[in-house]
């Protein structure tokens, strides 16, 4: 693990499997809540997966609710927001990572601003509501998704938007995530300090970044970092 990092002026967090653990994801179950014909569900799910694969190959991200509204005639009278509100609880079950609430509380107490940045086919509005459901949304200045930005990690666009929202230099911001390519390499390429949250770190990382196995490890890393001189 690297030592003597500079204390961050802000911290950005990935959402899925970093802040929250994904316990369930069922695309078909979600689509079934907004279309009336059962036979359409599997066809739509397969078509969306193909759309996702194509977008991801170009590091872009479709918004599921908007795609469904454009694809299903019966949804034309509904807003994208209302479709998304129906889809989300039927598709996804998330639970907080053990210890994350304590870390966020300490960072907030110490005046370190935070944001959440996620690759997702849902809006930041939906992920913010999910964080609120777990009592975590109050800690974040914003929640930004790849569907909002139409660009997904590891492309630097999403990182740049988040840093701009903080009004800080990228070098002064830590990014904490669980995936090597999307989070760690992406954050490094955008000029942020990546921190890899992974309970089972692999051997031969090949990327210069600190690894934390638990949120207690993260707290130790934070409070052994070197504070920049005043001025």
Per residue in 12-47, pLDDT (tens digit) is 999 999 999 999 999 999 999 999 887 799 999 999
Q: Is the peptide bond before 3 cis (omega within 30 degrees of 0)?
A: no
CB-based contacts of 182, cutoff 8 Å, min separation 6: 14, 119, 152, 153, 154
Looking at residue 53, what is its pLDDT? 98
Of 112-116, 134-138, 169-173, 198-202, the poorest mean pLDDT is in 198-202
Burial environment of residue 96 by CB neighbours within 10 A (0 to 12, 13 to 18, 19 or more): middle
Structure tokens at 106: 């300490």
Q: Could you read off the pLDDT of 140-193 as tens digits, one per residue? A: 999 999 999 999 999 999 999 999 999 999 999 999 999 999 999 999 999 999
Spatial CB neighbours of 73, under 8 Å, sequence gap ≥ 6: none
Comparing CA positions, the residue from 147, 213, 230, 197 lying closest to residue 12 is 197
Q: How far apart are CA 41 and CA 192, in angstroms?
A: 41
The Cα–Cα gap between 89 and 65 comes to 13
d(CA 200, CA 211): 10
- Is the predicted pLDDT of residue 99 greater than 60, yes or no? yes
Find residue 20's DSSP bridge partners: 16, 96
pLDDT at position 203 is 64
The C-alpha atoms of residue 15 and residue 143 are separated, in whole angstroms, by 9
Q: Distance (Å, rounded) from C-alpha 173 to C-alpha 187?
A: 10
Taking the mean position of all CA atoms in its chain, how far away is CA 187?
A: 13
Determine the Cα–Cα distance for residues 215 and 197; give it in Å rounded to an integer. 8
Does the global pTM surpass 0.85?
yes
The DSSP code for 183 is I
Q: How confident is the model at residue 5 (pLDDT cuts 50, 70, 90)?
A: confident
Average pLDDT, the chain: 93
DSSP, res 194: E
């Amino acid at each position: 693990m690297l030592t003597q990092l500079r204390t961050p002026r802000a911290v950005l967090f990935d959402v899925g499997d970093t802040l929250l653990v994904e316990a369930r994801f069922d695309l078909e179950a979600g689509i079934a809540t907004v279309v009336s014909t059962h036979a359409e569900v599997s066809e739509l799910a397969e078509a969306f997966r193909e759309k996702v694969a194509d977008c991801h190959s170009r590091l872009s991200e479709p918004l599921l609710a908007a795609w469904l509204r454009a694809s299903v005639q019966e949804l034309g009278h509904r807003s994208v927001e209302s479709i998304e509100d129906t889809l989300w609880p039927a598709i996804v079950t998330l639970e907080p990572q053990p210890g994350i609430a304590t870390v966020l509380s300490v960072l907030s107490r110490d005046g370190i601003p935070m944001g959440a940045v996620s690759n997702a086919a849902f809006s930041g509005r939906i992920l913010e509501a999910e964080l609120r459901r777990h009592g975590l949304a109050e800690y974040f200045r914003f929640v930004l998704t790849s569907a909002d930005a139409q660009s997904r990690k590891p492309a630097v666009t999403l990182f740049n938007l988040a840093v701009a929202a903080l009004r800080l230099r990228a070098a002064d911001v830590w990014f904490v995530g669980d995936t090597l390519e999307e989070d760690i390499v992406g954050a490094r390429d955008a000029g942020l300090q990546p921190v890899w949250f992974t309970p089972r770190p692999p051997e031969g990382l090949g990327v210069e970044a600190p690894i934390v196995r638990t949120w207690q490890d993260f707290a130790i890393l934070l409070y052994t970092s070197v504070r920049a001189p005043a001025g």
